[in-house]
Amino acid sequence: MVVPLVIFDMDGTLLACETLEVIAKEIGVVKEVKEITDAAMNGKLDFEEAVKMRLNLLRGIGVEKIVEIAHELPLMQGAQRTINVLKKKGFKIGIITGGFELVAEVIADKLGVDFFVANKLEVVGGVLTGEFKLNVNGNKDLLLRNAALHWGAKITVAVGDGANDIPMLKEADLGIGFNGKPVVVAAANKNIQNDLRNILPIIDPIVQKFLNKVK
């Protein structure tokens, strides 16, 4: 049996927002956080350095508040329908995100995806310390390969919007830029805008092409 696997980025792809910017609004530092996010997404700032800078600004926020915000984050247009259709077609669905487990767990559960990989925030006394553990940092290609091995996937699709998604977009059999930054548009096999459902007619032909090869 041929198992196809689709990996999504989270912020700006499955979510119609950048989570850290939403959290930043709670303490009035959204402008500073957004500037750092934009620089990282366009490949102008190292991802780990960008995480450090933003979390330093968000230090002291309570975990309960973050989980509350996670439940209220807006899904990207077409996200739920896209996941539902892919699952019915037999795809395994994953999230590989430079975002954080506290949020990714909520979103994965809401959308019904099979697994997620995310970074981990350090929490002491119920609040963020500003420290973190990076599970995802320039290695989305390796994480995609590991996921394909785990699920026995013979064909892979990756969807993302930012510079840190480029390794997995290039690693996948089909790399789709979604509302991609210029560096992503240049790297992706295909590029779409606005509604995630637009990936569905792009995915079907490559899966069928692969199936014809293995017959």
DSSP string, 81-144: HHHHHHHHTT-EEEEEEEEEHHHHHHHHHHHT-SEEEEEEEEEETTEEEEEEE-S-SS-HHHHH
- The alpha helices in the chain, defined as continuous H runs, are 19-25, 30-41, 47-58, 63-72, 79-88, 101-111, 140-151, 166-171, 182-187, 200-214
Task: Give 83's contacts (C-beta < 8 A, 6+ positions apart).
Answer: 93, 111, 112, 113
Catalytic residue among 11, 141, 161, 165: 11
Sign of CA dihedral 183, 143, 13, 55: negative
Active site residue 9: yes
Active-site amino acid positions:
9, 11
